[in-house]
Chain A
Amino acid sequence: MITVEFLGPIQKPVLSMEASTLREVAEVLKQDPTMAEWIENCAVAVNDTLVGSLDTPLKEGDKVSLLPPVCGG
């Protein structure tokens, strides 16, 4: 199992799922209508490192984080 956490304004609880790549996570999230406004603008981190490929492999216990648009300061 991996976990998916939704940061900042995305009001969703942590999700647990079976997935071996980020692509599989993306396929699940695309089916979720509450994610429609976030899919196109979120950056993605695996174990707190930003990643740039849907082929990023996932293993048991990995944490995927979705980071919506930011505005610090």
Chain B
Amino acid sequence: MLELHDGALTVPEILARWYALEATSNYGAYIPFVGTVREEDGIDGLSFDVYEPILTSWFDAWGAKVAPLGAVLKMAHSRGDVYLHESSYIAAVFSPKRRVALETIDAFVEDFKASAPIWKYDLKDGKRIYARERSTAIAGAGLLGRNG
């Protein structure tokens, strides 16, 4: 399950809804990760662009990867502006066993940061500034600059 929301995520509603969805699915573990906008460097908040087609295929590939482990992933992310102390990202894994869930959430969130086609901007002094220094080139980037 992949959800995109305009603006901040309604964290309690999303976590409770996902819990209810899987409450009788016989999973032993539910591990959510919630990302919240912190006050840092004088920002008023963050803003996000999302490219949905590739995000969806990336998420679906992860779903297929963890299915043989008996695990299920859910993810919600914001589009547009999210202000201080609001949340822009939730990832969660359900699995029969604790160890699979703990390892999956770690690997999934790390790959999300490196690969998911989402661009972050700082909201500061009325401007929307690309967070270039905090961004990561996707694996295989630089293809257009290759010679030969």
Q: Which of A40, A50, A71 contacts B54 (CB 8 A)?
A: A50
Q: At the interface, yes or no: B88 with Cβ under 8 Å from chain A?
A: yes
Interface set, chain A 28-69, CB cutoff 8 A to B: 29-30, 39-45, 48-54, 65-69
Mark A residues whose CB is within 8 Å of B: 7-9, 22, 25-26, 29-30, 39-45, 48-54, 65-73
B119 near A54: Cβ-Cβ < 8 Å: no
A-B contact count (CB 8 A): 115
A65 near B51: Cβ-Cβ < 8 Å: yes
Mark B residues whose CB is within 8 Å of A: 35, 48-51, 53-54, 57, 77, 88-89, 109, 112-121, 130-132, 134-146
In the assembled complex, the CB of A37 is this many whole angstroms from the nearest CB of chain B, namely 9
In the assembled complex, the CB of B120 is this many whole angstroms from the nearest CB of chain A, namely 4
Q: Assess A73 versus B115: contact at CB under 8 Å? Given A42-B144, A52-B140.
A: no
In angstroms, Cα B121 to Cα A44, docked, is 21
Contacts of A8 in B (CB 8 A): 49, 51, 117, 119, 130
A69 near B132: Cβ-Cβ < 8 Å: yes
Q: List 17 A-B contacts (CB under 8 A).
A: A7-B119, A8-B119, A42-B144, A43-B139, A48-B53, A49-B57, A50-B54, A51-B143, A52-B143, A53-B143, A65-B51, A67-B138, A68-B119, A69-B132, A71-B131, A72-B50, A72-B116
Q: Which of A9, A22, A49, A67 contacts B51 (CB 8 A)?
A: A67
Q: Assess A72 versus B112: contact at CB under 8 Å? Given A7-B119, A8-B119, A48-B54.
A: yes
Contacts of A41 in B (CB 8 A): 137, 141-142
> Please, which residue of chain A has its CB at the minimum distance from the CB of B129?
A9
Contacts of A30 in B (CB 8 A): 144-145
B112 near A73: Cβ-Cβ < 8 Å: yes
Contacts of B118 in A (CB 8 A): 70-73
In angstroms, Cα B132 to Cα A51, docked, is 23
Q: Which of B89, B117, B121, B144 contacts A70 (CB 8 A)?
A: B117
